């Protein structure tokens, strides 16, 4: 019976992830929530040269915010920056070239950024889904390095800056795929058994949810949230999940629809009236587990994740140039 209930709940949830799900949910949105002027506030968006990251950055720029685009590919990033400036008329758009899968680069970037800039809102959007096990130059499994460790280091490295900021927020772009994964701290780099890139990605996204919950407990002056954008038509989906894209392309959300809740969490006053540490979909907090699911973890596993990531983090900080 529990299997049947979970299946019904999950299928219903999948429909909500499509464009139709967004259109239905958006009938309840209050447009005034995001019709705000954020001039004078500083937003850092990782993975901002395409997809949901670029759509989010563009909407923040329209509202007058200072936007820092953190991107891996210099050429694509420069094109994205020019597009944002041209379309919004906002000249306060800054570009930083950082590979989020490279922890030493993140530390180096964060150290310099803290000396030169402020940040009110960090949006952890950069991510990847590599379908075959691939190691970075540091010997890290690439999905873990980007989605989990990169997110952890970027956030913790900028935490001192965020702690000093007014109305500080951290938003992490996760995925509904995490609902099928229980936190696994025994194999963070997916070296045991067959490698399934989709499930590794989902595990990373579960880890991001746990990170958000743990940060919310530890840093009361910052509002943390994690969200699922639904299924959006982005370059990442086309390249990483071509079969899924072909099946679903007529039902996928636009990039702007996928970015809507990120924007709402980043700029609206309503978002911070809700508790820190929640998981959102279409501007509403939603459960992080299916009903009666096996995906709940004991507190000691969640604490262990934080300990292991801190160990990784400090290892790469110690060899960081400068």
CA nearest neighbour of 58 among 302, 259, 258, 213: 259
- CA–CA separation, 245 and 250 (whole Å): 9
Helix axes 299-318, 151-163, angle to 10 degrees: 90
DSSP 247-298: HHTTTPBPHHHHHHHHHHHHH-TTGGGSPTTEEEETTEE--SS-TT-S----
Which ranges of 17-102 does DSSP label H, i.e. alpha helix?
A: 19-25, 51-62, 74-88
- CA–CA separation, 91 and 38 (whole Å): 14
> Is the CB of residue 258 less than 8 Å from the CB of residue 234?
yes
Residue with tokens 């702007």: 256
> Is the CB of residue 63 less than 8 Å from the CB of residue 263?
no
- For the question of residue 201 being annotated catalytic, the response is yes
> Is the CB of residue 213 less than 8 Å from the CB of residue 303?
no
Give the distance from CA 68 to its chain's centroid: 15
Pick the catalytic residue from 152, 201, 245, 294: 201
Around 305, how many Cα atoms within 13 Å sit in the side-chain half-sphere?
27
Q: Which residues are catalytic?
A: 201
């Amino acid at each position: 019976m529990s299997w049947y209930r979970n299946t019904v709940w999950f299928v219903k949830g999948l429909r909500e992830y499509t464009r139709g799900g967004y259109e239905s949910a958006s009938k309840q949105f209050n447009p005034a929530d995001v019709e705000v002027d954020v001039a004078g506030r500083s937003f850092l968006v990782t993975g901002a040269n395409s997809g949901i990251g670029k759509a989010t950055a563009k909407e923040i720029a329209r509202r007058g915010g200072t936007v820092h685009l953190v991107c891996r590919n210099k050429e694509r990033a420069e094109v994205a920056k020019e597009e944002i400036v041209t379309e919004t008329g906002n000249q306060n758009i800054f570009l930083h070239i950082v590979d989020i899968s490279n922890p030493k680069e993140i530390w180096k970037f964060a150290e310099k950024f803290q000396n030169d800039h402020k940040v009110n809102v960090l949006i952890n959007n950069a991510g990847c889904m590599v379908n075959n096990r691939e190691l970075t130059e540091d010997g890290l499994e690439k999905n873990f390095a980007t989605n989990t460790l990169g997110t952890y280091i970027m956030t913790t490295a900028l935490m001192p800056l965020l702690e000093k900021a007014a109305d500080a927020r951290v938003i992490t772009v996760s995925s509904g795929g995490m609902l099928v994964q229980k936190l696994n701290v025994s194999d963070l780099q997916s070296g045991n058994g067959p490698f399934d890139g989709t499930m590794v990605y989902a595990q990373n996204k579960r880890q991001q949810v746990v990170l958000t919950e743990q940060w919310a407990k530890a840093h009361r002056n910052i509002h943390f949230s994690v969200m699922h954008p639904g299924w959006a038509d982005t370059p990442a989906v086309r390249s990483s999940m071509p079969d899924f894209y072909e099946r679903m392309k007529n039902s996928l959300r636009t990039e702007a629809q996928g970015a809507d809740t990120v924007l709402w969490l980043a700029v609206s006053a309503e978002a911070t009236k809700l508790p820190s540490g929640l998981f959102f979909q279409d501007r509403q907090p939603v459960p992080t587990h299916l009903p009666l699911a096996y995906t709940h973890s004991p507190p000691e596993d969640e604490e262990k994740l934080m300990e292991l990531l801190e160990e990784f983090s400090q290892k790469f900080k110690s060899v960081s140039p400068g």
